[in-house]
Homo-oligomer: A and B are copies of this chain.
Amino acid sequence: MSRTPPHPTREQIELPLVLDCLSDPIRLAIVYQLAQQEAVSSELCCGDFNGLSGKSNLTYHFAKLRDCGLMRTRVAGTNRFVRLRREDLEARFPGLLDAVLNSAAKDADRPQLVAECDEVKAD
């Protein structure tokens, strides 16, 4: 449980994997929270996300985020710190991360729109 896990290089980061990774609500929430925090400190510890799911499930999601190149994990004693790979992502996919984060922010504001209906206009 002690060595730094492997990370893809910048050039190995692939668009479909990144999009797939961001398409899971829990992972999107992790990335979002990480981004929110960024001004304060660039990293958070895994435990800071315990609200989102169980620990072993979070380990699973962190691994996906790491494997696709969205974040970097740093080991420090019994803790693991994670941070967004902003520069690498910006270099590979300019504007993408911010577009996703802005959209996610807007959605987070929405009063959870429950409309089941289609384009049907009261017919």
Contact = CB atoms under 8 A, between A and B. Distances in A.
Please tell me how many copies of the chain the complex holds. Answer: 2
Nearest to A21: B23
A119 B7 contact: yes
Interface stretch (A57-65, A78-86, A101-109): A101-109
A37 B80 CA distance: 47
Interface residues of A, number: 34
Interface stretch (A12-20, A39-47, A48-56): A12-20
A2 interface: no
A122 interface: no
Contact of A23 (B11, B23, B25, B107): B23
Given A16-B22, A92-B106, 18 more contacts: A7-B118, A7-B119, A8-B118, A8-B119, A9-B119, A11-B113, A14-B107, A15-B28, A15-B104, A19-B23, A20-B23, A92-B103, A93-B99, A93-B100, A94-B103, A95-B95, A95-B99, A96-B96
